[in-house]
Amino acid sequence: MATDHKTLQPLEFYKTFLDRKTRPDGRSLLEFRRMTLNAGSIGTADGSAIVKCGNTAIICGIKAELVAPERDEPQKGLIIPNVTLPSLCSSHIKSGPPGETAQAATQFIAELVNNNIIMDLETLCIKNSKWSWVLYCDLLCINLDGSLLDACVMALVAALKNLSLPVVSYDEEMDKLISNIEDKMGFHGIKQPVTSTFSLFENGILISDPTFEEEQLAAGVISITMEGTSVTHLYKPGGCTLNEKQVKKLMQQSELKTKEVVKLIEEACSPMGVEPID
Amino acid sequence: METEEKSIRALKCEQSVLSRADGSVMFSQGNTVVMASVYGPLEAKIQKELSDRMYIELNYKPKIGMPGVAERGKEKLIKTTCNHIILTNLHPRTAVCITVQEMQDGGTLLAASINAVCLALLDSGLPLQCLVAAVTCLVDKKDRIVLDPCINTVKEGYKAMCTFAFDSQKYNMILSHCEGQVPYQLFQKAMELCQKASHVIFDFYRQAVLRKFSKELL
């Protein structure tokens, strides 16, 4: 009976839960899913992390190369993010060239990177207009169950914190790079932006950390990126409208999540190592 | 913290510029010129067909070259905005094809595209729930808010550039997109300023429609 109702009238089915201020998976409206984070899981990558938010799972691997910086920005290094949604991650994703969801997510992360929200790109430069690091950050989704951007940002930040590269210096007289493979270094000053996604329903009900099903049924999504207590990015692609009071409420919720995620990343990326924490 | 420019640049539009499209418009906001066309409701491709509502296909064409990842990001933003304003459930199992062609980049392309699409939809006569007006503002390095910046202001560098879209019923926010980082209070101020500026665009829509129909009656 319940499954029939769900298949025939998914929105009605869902609304009966919302009216009772609960959700089909047992969460309350503004509750987040359990998060797990493991840093440094891929031995052959320069930096890596696996993130699970509920059923959504993302792997991030970073490969570093040395290149000449771009001509119009000679003092900056590069971070090239790429979000891949293979067809195995969800039945809604078709194989073939990257679809709209993947490209929109890549663009979202690229905007965070280019506006120095994740880290100051100038720290990646070794010698002005000669050498700089380029970090290829590949984000692969293993299981897509909503709140893709939250997991992607978290995985990227954790992988960047986990990054270890050989110490390279530039010798001006010889005009070449000197490095010692055994000396490794990480980058300091990686910021900790945290993205929180919320779904909105027509009658003004807000839910946090939506699953894929909830995202499909909802009338709109909003992703708030915060760093500490300041808002860095408010991404709301269309959908049903929001008033200022609702925005304020969401800000408070994302502040709570930000605190939790920052703690989680710090614990997972601490030199003590790699234990998953909820 | 002071506001530099309080008004948006001159708006111009010409509706029904394409003879084959159901609705089309050439829209300019200062030096930014965008053309938009609407075809629909059409028969939907089988894999795109939705049983309960209309499928919206949106193509954003840049001035030079093929659309890339950045254009896909814009397409998604415009498409989801359209999804809210078009009464999609009146035409199940059909599709509407909207094309946005960038003609000249004078800054604030995203906002101009959304406004152009809204005018093209008005021209096509598709039933809409409400209208939408998008406004961009920029927070420069001295924390001043510049409303509807031109390309030179954008090139000088900025702390953040935010684009908002509001509906015509209660002037609530439909879309928000920002590049860069600002404290929340400044962000809120920018949003309020854009909200006020959106009234100018709604007035412009009204005039455009009035002009169009008075021409047709003659």
Is the minimum CB–CB distance between A91 and chain B shorter than 8 Å? no
| pLDDT, tens digit, 9 for 90 and up, residues B122-140 | 999 999 999 999 999 999 8
Q: Does A117 touch chain B (CB under 8 A)?
A: yes
Q: Please give the mean pLDDT across all residues of chain A.
A: 88
How many separate domains does chain B show? 1
> What is the per-residue pLDDT across B36-83, written as a single tens digit (0 to 9) for each?
999 989 999 998 899 889 999 999 999 999 998 889 889 999 999 999
β-sheet bridge partners, residue B132: B167
- B172-203 pLDDT tens trace: 889 999 888 888 888 888 989 999 999 999 99
- The whole domain housing A138 covers 24-269
Report chain B residues whose CB lies below 8 A from the CB of A104: 72-73, 76
Which element (helix H / strand E) includes A121? none
How far apart, in Å, are the Cα atoms of B75 and each of A241, B106, B176?
A: 19, 19, 14
In chain A, the number of structural domains is: 1
Nearest CA in chain B to A101: B76
Whether A186 maps to a domain, the answer reads yes
For chain A, percent of residues with pLDDT exceeding 90: 40
Distance CA A223, CA A195 (A): 6
Question: Would B204 be classed as within a structural domain?
Answer: yes
What beta strand segments (E) does chain A contain?
35-39, 47-53, 56-67, 78-84, 125-127, 131-143, 165-171, 176-185, 194-200, 206-208, 220-227, 230-235
CATH of the domain at A242: 3.30.230.70
Per-residue three-class SS string for B185-218: HHHHHHHHHHHHHHHHHHHHHHHHHHHHHHHHHC
Tell if the CB–CB gap between B176 and A100 is shorter than 8 Å. no
Question: Residue B178: inside a domain, yes or no?
Answer: yes
Position B143 scores a pLDDT of 87
**Dist CA B55 CA B97 (whole Å):** 9
In B, which residues are within 8 Å of A243 by CB distance?
170, 172-173
User: Which residues from chain B sit within 8 angstroms of residue A236, using beta carbons?
Assistant: 173-177
Cα–Cα dist A214/A61, whole Å: 29
Note whether A225 contacts B: Cβ–Cβ < 8 A: no
Q: Is residue A9 part of a domain?
A: no
- Whether pLDDT at B4 is above 60: no
ipTM over the 0.85 cut-off:
no
Domain membership of residue B22 (yes or no) is yes
Asked whether residue B6 is assigned to any structural domain, the reply reads: no
